[in-house]
Structure formats: C-alpha cells, structure tokens
Chain A
Amino acid sequence: MSTTQNQFHRDTERTTADVPRRAFVRKALRGYEVKRDETKATFTDWQKARNVAANIKYDGVNHLDRYLLEFEEKFTARGGKVFWASNSAQAREYVLQLARDRGVRSIIKSKAMTSEEIHLNDALESEGYQVVESDLGEFIQQLKHEPPYHFVFPCMHLKRDEISALFEKELGSAPTDSPEELTMIARGFMRRQYIDADMGISGGNFLVAETGMVSITENEGNARLTTGLPRIHVALVGIEKVLPKLSDLALFLPMLATAGTGQHMTCYNSMFGGARQPGETDGPEEFHVVLLDNHRTRLLADAEQRDALGCIRCGACLNVCPIFKNIGGHAYGTTYQGPIGSVITPHFRGLQDWKHLSGASSLCGACTDACPVKIDIHHHLLHNRRNAVDQKPVWWEKIVWFGYVQTMTRPWFLRIANKLAPLAQKLHPLVLGGIFDPVRNWTKTRDFPEVAEESFHDWWAKRKEQSK
C-alpha cells in the first residue's frame, strides 16, 4: 500500500469515529441540499439546462486551444498580460518575480483553489511577503494553518466556539458565540488590508474567450475589493475554465449558484476585462492572468474522462456525497475533495498514489445526479479503478479474482461451496472478529446473515424433480 493510501485509512478511521462532527457536517450539507432543491424547482427545465451547460462545456474543452488563443488575444488587446504555466513551480515563480519587480510589500488574496493547488502562500511567505486570505472561511483556515475542508465552504466543519477561540488567540478579539460578531471581527481586520495591499490575487470561475474576461463568483465582496483596490491584480486560473461566449454566463451564473449553495445568484458575479481602462475612475494599473496547466492536459488526453475538465467547482457533488459526509474533507488529503477530487486527483498527482480515492466509493451515483454540467463522475471512479489495474495489478487481488473466476465458471464448485458454507458458519464464532476471521472487515461492525441450508438452485432442482 502506498503511503497516501495508508494515511487515508488512518485518517478515515479517525474521522468516521467522530460522530458529533459527522452529524454537524451532515446537517449543514443537508441544509444546502434542501435549498438547492427549492431553487432548482424554480427552473423551467433544470434537466435541459444541465444538458445545455454540459454541451457548452463540451464545446469549450474540446476546442480548448482555439478558445485559449482567443482569450489571450482579447485579453492582451485590453492591456492584460497572460502567462502560461506548465506546472506549479512556473506559476509560483511568475507571481514571485512580479512581486519582486514591482516592489510589492503586502498581498491580499481572494479565494482561489488554484493557489491552494500550487501552494502559493508558502512560497510568498517564505520570501517575506505578507499574504492575507480575505474570504472569511479561507481566512479562518489560514489562521488555523489548515487547508480548506470543502473547496466551496472552507471552514464548514468548525463550530462557532472553535472560531471564537481561534480569533481570540490569533487576533486578540473578545470571545463571542455570535457568528455575526465573528464575521465583523474579520471584516474589521480586513478593511485596512485591502487598502494597504499592493497586489491582489484572485482565482477565476470562468475565462470568457469572446471578450477576454475573467469571471469571478463570490458572496462576500472580498474578491471585488481584492481586485479593485490594489495596484496589481493577478488571477490564477486553470486552462480548462473557458466559456466561448460572454452571454454563456447567463446560464452558468444561475446554475453555479443553484447547484452549489442553492442561491438563485451568488451575491457578486463580476467580469474583469483588463486593468483600469482610459476614462475609468479606478481599478488596478496591471492585470495578469496565469493560465495553469499543472497536468490538466493529462486529464484532457484521457478522452473517456475529458468531461471532468468541465467541472465548475460548484461543490454540489461534495454536498450530496455520503463518503464526504462521513469522512470529511481533510481525510482526502487533496486540494479538491469529494467525488470530483477523487476523479481528477489521480490525473494530477499520479494514479497509483491516489487510486484509493476512486476505490473509496460505494458508486452510489448521487454525485453524477447532482452535477450541473453532467460529468459522469461515479463512472469515472470505475474507470480509474480499471486503469489502475491495467497499469499495475495488485498481486494478491489478482489471486483473489483468479479464485473467483475458477468458482464462478464452475457451477458445481459453487454448489459444493454452498453446501459446506452452513458448516463453516457454525465454526465461524471461534474466530469471529479476530485476526483469523476471513471476513473480519465485515464482522467487526456488522452481523453476517446465515447461509441457507437449501440454496435457490437446490430448491429449483427439487421442485423440477417433484413436478416430473
């Protein structure tokens, strides 16, 4: 077993045992589900809308080269700078170099999973830059020195008293059990940061090819302040985020909000086309977009799973996933948690090291049902399992399945096994739950049904005999 897989087993053993935390997370996610269903019901035809959204993403991803070039041309024409980064190191170095060249002192950031992906904060901080996460959830996680728990709701696992204690320790604020007061503490702290920062770093939900714009969706207004006040704006965006047309957002903005949080529209949906233009009141002097590959082209090359690049990171699949609800976001050990994370992480970080995430699923398919762009998520988990075996079968599994094939292709052998099973089961209590129990992974927590004295096959044969 790989170290990542061992870690996963250890972590899930711990997190699944934390019953109160599981109940807390489940209740919150259930709330989003109820709200999502209410908002979905206001759509004239949600299923058709999903088809059209999937269709537009299919168009975007399958003509990615063309749309990226169109984006670059339009974006550059408005004075923006595009940097194409093959990997994390290149992307980090570009931002660092920019900060050095422009004499940047302090940096404010709005929520960007791409930045988590390339560990940008660590790189900036190690060179002495002050970096502040402005999204409330991300800010809390930054203070906690913990990665986001859920890529849309970073601190959804924390209770208010934990956040109050954290603020008390890190910011010296007075303890409170009011979420509103806690929010205002962060607001108060952040105000000055926006004004003092020289550089604002954001992610991007969509890249609009037609107009060369980056579209950012948020509720708090922190991204607007991060991109509006500092003199330099850098957006760190995955190459797969293209939408062909600006008007496509008329479909995607409501769908993203509905699928993710159950809102009709997220509070602020902003499209940024360049730095401050002549005749405009304010805005940054420079606008840079870092287009991040970081193995997205590896996923693109897998035609079967290419649709996973259409993901709009709404989080709907996490919200409905029984695995996520029970193991929690940190157990995944990945930047992108939940079902979509289990699909894409093996492509980004290596199949053999991350195949266990595709294995850790009952394949219930709730994710695929919830996906607004119809990514075939749970079937891709099956594909990852198959690809992992094709690439490198596990020797003992190979033996198990050899035995299985021998049994299942010889019905007489299966009949004998069925006849012996009741006897074996009578002896089972001798080893039950212990290390010699062959089915201890079942019997540790669940009873095993009694094997029937007469199988269906035998019953049928007897009946046939009697009716003769």
Chain B
Amino acid sequence: MRVTLFIPCFIDSLYPHVGVAMVKVLERLGHEVLYPEGQTCCGQPPFNSGYWDEARVVASRQLEFFKDAEVVVSASGSCGAMFKVFFPQLFEGRPEEAAAKSLSSRCFEFSDFLVNRLNVRDVGARFEGKVTFHDGCHGLRELGTKQEPRELLRAVKGLELVEMGENESCCGFGGMFAVKYPEISTAMAEVKCNSILDTGVEYVVSNDSSCLMQIQGWLDRNSPRTVKSLHLAEVLANR
C-alpha cells in the first residue's frame, strides 16, 4: 500500500525521530511511504482558539497536499482528529467540504491504521522495559482508539505493559491551553505524572507527542531521570 505520512509541524521540528520511526515500521511491513514536502500544520491551534478563518487558510493547503493520497497516517492522534473529525466541520457548507470529507475518510491515526486497516498487531519489534501507556484525549475520545496501541504494545517482545490509575485522564496539554492557563495545565500534568510515577515504570508511551511534550516537560522539571517518554512508533521500530 502507498501510505502518505502526515508529520505535524511540532513533530517535524521537535520530534523528527518519531516520523523516522514510522517510516521504518511501515517500510518493514512492506509498504511504500510517501511524504508531501509542502505540508505544515493542520490548523488546530487557531481552530481551537476560535480563529476559524485563519485555521481554514492553513487547513485548506493541507487538503491540497493530501488530495490524492490513498491513505493518510498521522503521527499524532490530536492532529489526526483535526483531519478526521474537525475538517468536515470547519469546511461545512464551503467549496472545500467534499475534499475535507474525503480526507476525513482516508485519514488514520498510526495505531488505528496498523491494527484496523492493516490488521497487524505484531510488527516484529523487541523492546526491553516496563512501560505504561498514556491515552491522548483526542485519540481516545474523538477517534475512539483505546485498545489498538495496547494490542500493538502487548505484541512487542520483552515489553511489560502496566496500566496507570489515571490512564484516561488528560495530561493537561490542550495546545494553547497549556500556555494560556499554565497553572491549571501544570496541575493536570502533576496529577498525570504522579500516576505514571506510581506505576514504577521506566517508560511512558503514547500515540501523541504533544501529550509527551507536556509529560516529559513536567517530569524533567520535577522528577528528572525517572521516566522517559517515547512515541509508540519509536517502540515499534525498535528490534
């Protein structure tokens, strides 16, 4: 299959290795990976801030870049939800509506794609370590992805998966919310991270790097060198 990657702007510059890992996993499974180089941002920051006009300008460019893709796989559940759930709303009643709906139907979050579209659970990965999984809220509730990443992790040799008490609680990132309401956002991170620390794991894994930026950011400041955060793709790429 020809798989077109959507590498959101912050992953491009802060976590490029997540994209690299996705390429590795998909190529290992025998798929051709494509990457439209003009892609930038899904438009979620202004969309979530209420500036839908600005969001549309940026979002409509992405519609162009992905219009011919057979399937689009997003490195982030949140940006994936933007494509899949919010683009059709953003362009409702506008000329781009059909294109937005079409992209929505072709777009997958990474774990959802592997499990539900490719029907793969064991990607042949090996990873030694005790791991807990953090559900990004957009992946969990907008896309309904809950068991998929866990099924993938359980198939990884050497990996022990432990659930945390607050596994469905928000980490407090929320995009612009994290800097507009830093006290609330940090309080949420504290609850989340303490729940992670309580499990005694070495790694916290998620299918959303934005959550991991928040979690790792809090851990580095408050509990350095205890738990390391990894994107699901990084674990699956490991052999």
Contacts and interface: CB of A to CB of B under 8 A. Distances in A.
Do A and B touch (CB < 8 Å)?
A: yes
A430 interface: no
Interface stretch (A10-18, A235-243, A256-264, A288-296): A10-18
B169 to A, nearest CB: 6
Contacts of A12: 181, 183-184
B61 interface: yes
A63 B38 CA distance: 50
Given A13-B183, A22-B187, A459 B46 contact: no
A389 B221 contact: no
A30 to B, nearest CB: 9
A364 B137 contact: yes
Interface in A385-408: 385-390, 393, 397-398, 401-402, 404-405, 407-408
Nearest to A13: B183
Contacts of B54: 401-402, 404-405
B142 interface: yes
B180 A441 contact: yes
Given A327-B184, A445-B186, A446-B217, A363 B137 contact: yes
User: Which among A405, A409, A414, A456 has the highest number of chain B CB atoms within 10 Å?
Assistant: A456
Interface string B3-31: 00001010111111111100000000000
A450 B13 CA distance: 9
B123 to A, nearest CB: 20
Contact of A389 (B50, B61, B175, B185): B50
Interface string B158-180: 00000000001110111101111
Contact of A405 (B52, B57, B140): B57
A452 B35 CA distance: 19
A319 interface: no
Interface in A434-468: 439, 441-442, 444-452, 454-461
A196 B39 CA distance: 74
Interface string B35-68: 1011111010111111110100110010000000
B203 interface: no
Q: Classify the secondary structure of A's interface with B.
A: helix
Interface string B70-88: 0000000000000000000
A98 to B, nearest CB: 43
A138 B13 CA distance: 53
Contacts of A457: 7, 12, 37
A411 interface: yes
A217 interface: no
Given A404-B46, A405-B57, A411-B37, A446 B174 contact: no
A366 B173 CA distance: 15
Interface in A330-346: none
Interface stretch (A181-189, A274-282, A354-362): A354-362
Interface string A189-211: 00000000000000000000000
Contacts of B218: 445-446
Contacts of B187: 16, 22, 326-327
Given A323-B184, A362-B188, A365-B138, 20 more contacts: A12-B181, A326-B187, A359-B177, A360-B180, A362-B170, A363-B177, A365-B137, A382-B50, A385-B48, A389-B50, A401-B49, A407-B40, A408-B41, A442-B179, A442-B182, A445-B218, A446-B214, A446-B220, A451-B13, A452-B14
Interface of B: 7, 9, 11-20, 35, 37-41, 43, 45-52, 54, 57-58, 61, 137-138, 140-142, 168-170, 172-175, 177-189, 191, 213-214, 216-218, 220-221
22 contacts: A12-B184, A359-B177, A360-B184, A364-B170, A366-B168, A366-B169, A404-B41, A404-B46, A408-B58, A408-B61, A409-B58, A411-B37, A414-B9, A445-B221, A446-B214, A447-B220, A449-B15, A450-B14, A456-B11, A456-B20, A457-B7, A458-B16
